Amino acid sequence: MAQNVEFNCNWAVEVDGVVEIKMETCELPEIGRTLKETRTGSDKQNFSTSTGLLEAIDIPFGKHIRRGEISDIKVFWDWWKAGDTDKRDGAIIMLDQQGNEVYRHPFYSAICSRIKPPSFNSEDESEPATFTFTLRVEDIDMEI
């Protein structure tokens, strides 16, 4: 299957025009389309290939949080609870070291398909927990 690329930089996730959360990790998957082959008659050499539908795109995110830093993940928890009828548009924004936007990937008709709430270790409260969620998007673009 597709090979994922993970960048060592900061990301922000914008939903419906509002930056909801800044993330430490975002894995941008390879994006593909189904291929459709059309053959004419029984001639195995005479065929054409065209692109079909865009394959489903799952984009996982991760954020390190400490106790008391739960407020910015609640929007994704509520979105996940709403189910697959709550489709939203947004963008994945790559940020430089100063927090300025470098480029963005607008996405369309996304649902929050998977969520993993953070688990905290009560023996070491200095260790951050990781909150992860996955967006399934119907289409994605790139703006520089």
| pLDDT tens digits along 51-97 | 777 777 888 888 877 666 666 688 888 999 998 889 999 999 998 88
CB 59, CB 92: distance < 8 Å: yes
Query: What fold, for 5-140?
Result: Pnp Oxidase; Chain A (2.30.110)
> Using CA of residue 65, residue 70, residue 71, residue 77, what is the dihedral sign?
positive
Instruction: Give the separation between CA 63 and CA 77, rounded to whole angstroms.
Output: 14
Residue type, 99: G
pLDDT in tens, 5-53: 444 458 888 999 887 788 878 877 777 777 777 777 777 777 777 777 7
Per-residue pLDDT band for 109 (boundaries 50, 70, 90) equals: very high
| pTM beyond 0.85 | no
